[in-house]
Amino acid sequence: MDGTLTGKLLINRTGEVESWTLSDPATRNALTDELVAALRHACERAAADPGLRFVVLQGSGSAFCAGGSLGGFTASIGQALPVGQADPLIAMNAGFGALLEALCALPKMLLVAVDGPAMGGGLGLVCCADFVLAAPTAVFAAPEVTLGVVPAQIAAFVHRRLGDRAARRLLLTGEKLSADQALALGLADEVVADLQAAVAQRIGILRRAAPGAVAHTKALLCMLNTAAAHDLSAKAAIKFVANLRSPEAAEGLSAFAGKRKPGWAA
Protein backbone atom coordinates (compact mmCIF):
# COMPACT_ATOMS: atom_id res chain seq x y z
CA MET A 1 0.00 0.00 0.00
CA ASP A 2 1.52 3.29 -1.08
CA GLY A 3 0.17 6.79 -0.73
CA THR A 4 -3.39 5.77 0.14
CA LEU A 5 -5.46 8.60 1.65
CA THR A 6 -8.62 7.63 3.53
CA GLY A 7 -10.47 9.84 5.98
CA LYS A 8 -7.54 12.26 6.24
CA LEU A 9 -5.18 9.35 7.01
CA LEU A 10 -2.32 8.92 4.54
CA ILE A 11 -0.73 5.47 4.51
CA ASN A 12 2.61 4.72 2.87
CA ARG A 13 4.25 1.30 2.82
CA THR A 14 7.94 0.49 2.41
CA GLY A 15 8.68 -3.17 2.93
CA GLU A 16 7.77 -4.14 6.48
CA VAL A 17 7.12 -0.54 7.58
CA GLU A 18 3.98 1.56 7.24
CA SER A 19 3.78 5.29 7.93
CA TRP A 20 0.36 6.51 9.05
CA THR A 21 0.19 10.28 8.65
CA LEU A 22 -2.65 12.33 10.10
CA SER A 23 -3.23 14.49 7.06
CA ASP A 24 -5.47 17.46 7.82
CA PRO A 25 -3.05 20.33 8.51
CA ALA A 26 -5.82 22.95 8.24
CA THR A 27 -7.27 21.63 11.52
CA ARG A 28 -3.85 20.68 12.94
CA ASN A 29 -4.90 17.06 12.32
CA ALA A 30 -7.91 17.14 14.64
CA LEU A 31 -9.54 13.79 15.36
CA THR A 32 -12.79 13.89 13.43
CA ASP A 33 -15.13 10.89 13.38
CA GLU A 34 -13.87 10.19 9.86
CA LEU A 35 -10.22 10.15 10.91
CA VAL A 36 -10.94 7.99 13.96
CA ALA A 37 -12.76 5.49 11.74
CA ALA A 38 -9.86 5.46 9.27
CA LEU A 39 -7.38 4.77 12.07
CA ARG A 40 -9.53 1.95 13.46
CA HIS A 41 -9.75 0.37 10.01
CA ALA A 42 -5.98 0.71 9.59
CA CYS A 43 -5.46 -1.08 12.91
CA GLU A 44 -7.72 -3.96 11.88
CA ARG A 45 -5.97 -4.36 8.53
CA ALA A 46 -2.47 -4.05 10.00
CA ALA A 47 -3.16 -6.58 12.74
CA ALA A 48 -4.02 -9.18 10.09
CA ASP A 49 -1.01 -8.44 7.86
CA PRO A 50 1.79 -10.99 8.47
CA GLY A 51 4.25 -8.99 6.38
CA LEU A 52 3.96 -5.83 8.44
CA ARG A 53 6.28 -5.35 11.42
CA PHE A 54 6.39 -1.61 12.14
CA VAL A 55 3.87 1.22 12.15
CA VAL A 56 4.98 4.85 12.41
CA LEU A 57 2.23 7.29 13.41
CA GLN A 58 2.91 10.96 12.70
CA GLY A 59 1.23 14.26 11.87
CA SER A 60 1.41 16.53 8.85
CA GLY A 61 2.13 20.24 8.76
CA SER A 62 3.11 21.98 11.98
CA ALA A 63 1.27 19.70 14.42
CA PHE A 64 1.04 16.09 15.45
CA CYS A 65 -2.60 16.27 16.54
CA ALA A 66 -4.63 19.11 18.04
CA GLY A 67 -6.97 16.67 19.77
CA GLY A 68 -10.56 15.64 19.35
CA SER A 69 -12.87 17.52 17.02
CA LEU A 70 -16.07 18.70 18.71
CA GLY A 71 -17.78 19.12 15.36
CA GLY A 72 -20.21 16.29 15.99
CA PHE A 73 -20.99 17.64 19.46
CA THR A 74 -21.36 21.36 18.74
CA ALA A 75 -25.15 21.57 18.96
CA SER A 76 -25.15 19.60 22.22
CA ILE A 77 -22.63 21.68 24.18
CA GLY A 78 -24.36 23.06 27.24
CA GLN A 79 -27.68 21.49 26.23
CA ALA A 80 -29.34 19.08 28.66
CA LEU A 81 -30.80 15.89 27.22
CA PRO A 82 -34.56 15.33 27.68
CA VAL A 83 -35.28 13.04 30.63
CA GLY A 84 -35.44 9.40 29.63
CA GLN A 85 -33.83 9.86 26.20
CA ALA A 86 -30.78 7.76 25.35
CA ASP A 87 -27.83 9.96 24.47
CA PRO A 88 -26.43 9.26 20.97
CA LEU A 89 -23.20 11.06 21.80
CA ILE A 90 -22.06 8.35 24.20
CA ALA A 91 -21.32 5.87 21.42
CA MET A 92 -19.50 8.56 19.42
CA ASN A 93 -17.17 9.28 22.32
CA ALA A 94 -16.67 5.62 23.18
CA GLY A 95 -15.56 5.01 19.58
CA PHE A 96 -12.40 7.00 20.23
CA GLY A 97 -11.72 4.87 23.30
CA ALA A 98 -12.03 1.78 21.08
CA LEU A 99 -9.38 3.26 18.77
CA LEU A 100 -6.97 3.76 21.66
CA GLU A 101 -7.52 0.16 22.73
CA ALA A 102 -6.90 -1.04 19.16
CA LEU A 103 -3.64 0.92 18.93
CA CYS A 104 -2.41 -0.54 22.21
CA ALA A 105 -3.38 -4.05 21.09
CA LEU A 106 -1.68 -3.74 17.70
CA PRO A 107 0.62 -6.79 17.36
CA LYS A 108 3.24 -4.68 15.56
CA MET A 109 5.81 -2.24 16.88
CA LEU A 110 4.08 1.15 17.11
CA LEU A 111 6.34 4.20 16.96
CA VAL A 112 4.88 7.69 17.34
CA ALA A 113 6.85 10.61 15.94
CA VAL A 114 5.74 13.93 17.43
CA ASP A 115 6.50 17.32 15.92
CA GLY A 116 4.48 20.28 17.19
CA PRO A 117 1.43 20.03 19.48
CA ALA A 118 0.04 16.71 20.72
CA MET A 119 -3.05 17.89 22.58
CA GLY A 120 -5.94 16.10 24.27
CA GLY A 121 -6.84 13.15 22.08
CA GLY A 122 -3.47 13.57 20.38
CA LEU A 123 -1.82 12.97 23.74
CA GLY A 124 -3.96 9.83 24.01
CA LEU A 125 -2.54 8.57 20.71
CA VAL A 126 0.98 9.22 21.99
CA CYS A 127 0.32 7.16 25.11
CA CYS A 128 -0.54 4.10 23.00
CA ALA A 129 2.94 3.93 21.48
CA ASP A 130 5.62 1.39 22.16
CA PHE A 131 8.18 4.12 21.53
CA VAL A 132 7.74 7.90 21.33
CA LEU A 133 10.22 10.09 19.48
CA ALA A 134 9.81 13.85 19.80
CA ALA A 135 11.22 16.79 17.90
CA PRO A 136 12.47 19.73 20.02
CA THR A 137 9.34 21.62 18.93
CA ALA A 138 6.94 19.00 20.32
CA VAL A 139 4.43 20.13 22.96
CA PHE A 140 2.24 17.79 25.00
CA ALA A 141 -0.90 18.66 26.99
CA ALA A 142 -4.36 17.58 28.05
CA PRO A 143 -6.10 20.98 28.26
CA GLU A 144 -9.66 19.61 28.59
CA VAL A 145 -10.30 20.56 32.22
CA THR A 146 -9.33 24.17 31.50
CA LEU A 147 -12.12 24.19 28.90
CA GLY A 148 -14.71 22.66 31.21
CA VAL A 149 -14.45 19.29 29.44
CA VAL A 150 -13.50 15.84 30.79
CA PRO A 151 -10.43 14.09 29.28
CA ALA A 152 -12.55 10.98 29.41
CA GLN A 153 -11.16 8.47 26.94
CA ILE A 154 -7.49 9.35 27.27
CA ALA A 155 -7.37 9.16 31.08
CA ALA A 156 -6.70 5.43 31.33
CA PHE A 157 -3.99 5.54 28.66
CA VAL A 158 -2.20 8.55 30.12
CA HIS A 159 -2.32 6.84 33.51
CA ARG A 160 -0.97 3.60 32.03
CA ARG A 161 1.93 5.38 30.35
CA LEU A 162 2.92 7.74 33.17
CA GLY A 163 1.56 6.38 36.44
CA ASP A 164 -0.80 8.09 38.86
CA ARG A 165 1.28 11.06 39.98
CA ALA A 166 2.29 12.28 36.52
CA ALA A 167 -1.14 11.51 35.06
CA ARG A 168 -2.77 13.72 37.67
CA ARG A 169 -0.28 16.47 36.88
CA LEU A 170 -1.31 16.47 33.21
CA LEU A 171 -5.00 15.63 33.41
CA LEU A 172 -5.94 17.91 36.32
CA THR A 173 -3.96 21.00 35.37
CA GLY A 174 -3.85 21.18 31.57
CA GLU A 175 -0.12 21.96 31.87
CA LYS A 176 1.89 22.04 28.66
CA LEU A 177 5.07 19.99 28.53
CA SER A 178 8.01 20.74 26.29
CA ALA A 179 9.81 17.89 24.55
CA ASP A 180 12.52 17.86 27.22
CA GLN A 181 9.94 17.85 30.02
CA ALA A 182 8.12 14.97 28.33
CA LEU A 183 11.41 13.09 28.13
CA ALA A 184 12.09 13.64 31.83
CA LEU A 185 8.57 12.48 32.72
CA GLY A 186 8.84 9.31 30.63
CA LEU A 187 6.25 10.39 28.08
CA ALA A 188 8.86 10.60 25.30
CA ASP A 189 11.67 8.09 24.80
CA GLU A 190 13.93 10.37 22.76
CA VAL A 191 14.16 14.01 21.74
CA VAL A 192 15.81 14.23 18.34
CA ALA A 193 16.59 16.95 15.81
CA ASP A 194 15.81 14.73 12.80
CA LEU A 195 12.67 12.69 13.43
CA GLN A 196 12.75 10.66 10.22
CA ALA A 197 16.38 9.65 10.68
CA ALA A 198 15.75 8.76 14.33
CA VAL A 199 12.72 6.64 13.41
CA ALA A 200 14.75 4.76 10.81
CA GLN A 201 17.56 4.22 13.31
CA ARG A 202 15.15 2.97 15.99
CA ILE A 203 13.50 0.56 13.54
CA GLY A 204 16.95 -0.76 12.62
CA ILE A 205 17.57 -1.57 16.29
CA LEU A 206 14.11 -3.07 16.77
CA ARG A 207 14.61 -5.48 13.86
CA ARG A 208 16.58 -7.65 16.28
CA ALA A 209 13.29 -8.64 17.90
CA ALA A 210 11.41 -11.53 16.26
CA PRO A 211 7.98 -10.39 15.01
CA GLY A 212 6.11 -13.36 16.46
CA ALA A 213 7.73 -12.92 19.86
CA VAL A 214 6.93 -9.20 19.75
CA ALA A 215 3.27 -9.91 18.98
CA HIS A 216 2.93 -12.37 21.86
CA THR A 217 4.82 -10.13 24.27
CA LYS A 218 2.63 -7.15 23.41
CA ALA A 219 -0.46 -9.33 23.89
CA LEU A 220 0.74 -10.26 27.38
CA LEU A 221 1.42 -6.62 28.25
CA CYS A 222 -1.97 -5.63 26.88
CA MET A 223 -3.70 -8.24 29.05
CA LEU A 224 -2.48 -6.40 32.13
CA ASN A 225 -4.56 -3.36 31.23
CA THR A 226 -7.19 -4.22 28.62
CA ALA A 227 -10.04 -5.21 30.94
CA ALA A 228 -9.71 -2.07 33.03
CA ALA A 229 -9.44 0.21 30.00
CA HIS A 230 -12.41 -1.44 28.26
CA ASP A 231 -14.60 -1.18 31.34
CA LEU A 232 -13.58 2.44 31.81
CA SER A 233 -14.28 3.40 28.19
CA ALA A 234 -18.05 3.06 28.48
CA LYS A 235 -18.17 4.86 31.83
CA ALA A 236 -15.84 7.57 30.56
CA ALA A 237 -18.11 8.24 27.58
CA ILE A 238 -21.07 8.75 29.91
CA LYS A 239 -19.11 11.23 32.04
CA PHE A 240 -17.78 13.04 28.98
CA VAL A 241 -21.22 13.54 27.48
CA ALA A 242 -22.87 14.52 30.78
CA ASN A 243 -20.20 17.16 31.25
CA LEU A 244 -20.34 18.29 27.62
CA ARG A 245 -24.06 19.05 28.01
CA SER A 246 -23.43 21.11 31.16
CA PRO A 247 -23.24 24.92 31.42
CA GLU A 248 -19.64 24.50 32.54
CA ALA A 249 -18.54 23.10 29.17
CA ALA A 250 -20.50 25.80 27.35
CA GLU A 251 -18.74 28.50 29.36
CA GLY A 252 -15.29 26.95 28.99
CA LEU A 253 -15.47 26.51 25.23
CA SER A 254 -17.06 29.94 24.77
CA ALA A 255 -14.26 31.51 26.79
CA PHE A 256 -11.66 29.68 24.72
CA ALA A 257 -13.23 30.86 21.47
CA GLY A 258 -13.42 34.41 22.83
CA LYS A 259 -9.85 34.33 24.15
CA ARG A 260 -10.95 35.17 27.67
CA LYS A 261 -10.79 33.44 31.04
CA PRO A 262 -13.76 31.23 31.92
CA GLY A 263 -15.83 32.22 34.95
CA TRP A 264 -14.12 29.80 37.33
CA ALA A 265 -10.65 31.17 36.46
CA ALA A 266 -11.47 34.89 36.41
Question: Any idea what DSSP says for residue 73?
Answer: G
What residues pair up with 4 in beta bridges, in sequence order? 11
Whether residue 176 contacts residue 182, with contact meaning beta carbons closer than 8 Å, is answered with no
CA 61 to mean position of chain CA atoms: 17
Domain residue ranges of the chain, discontinuous segments joined by +:
4-194+209-257
- Cα separation, 149 vs 199, in Å, equals 34
Please classify residue 176 by burial: count the beta carbons closer than 10 Å to its beta carbon, then call 0-12 exposed, 13-18 middle and 19+ buried: middle
CATH fold label, 4-194+209-257: 2-enoyl-CoA Hydratase; Chain A, domain 1 (3.90.226)
User: What amino acid occupies position 134?
Assistant: A
If we measure between CA atoms, which residue out of 24, 28, 111 comes closest to residue 67? 28
| H or E element at residue 181 | helix 179-185
d(CA 90, CA 238): 6
Residue pLDDT tens, the chain, 266 long: 568 888 899 999 999 999 999 999 999 999 999 999 999 999 999 999 999 999 999 999 999 999 988 777 777 777 887 777 777 778 888 889 999 999 999 999 999 999 999 999 999 999 999 999 999 999 999 999 999 999 989 999 999 999 999 999 999 999 999 999 999 999 999 999 999 999 999 999 999 999 999 999 999 988 876 655 566 777 888 888 888 888 998 898 889 989 999 998 97
Helix (H) or strand (E) holding 157: helix 155-162
Q: How far is CA 222 from CA 55, 57, 230, 236, in A?
A: 17, 19, 11, 19
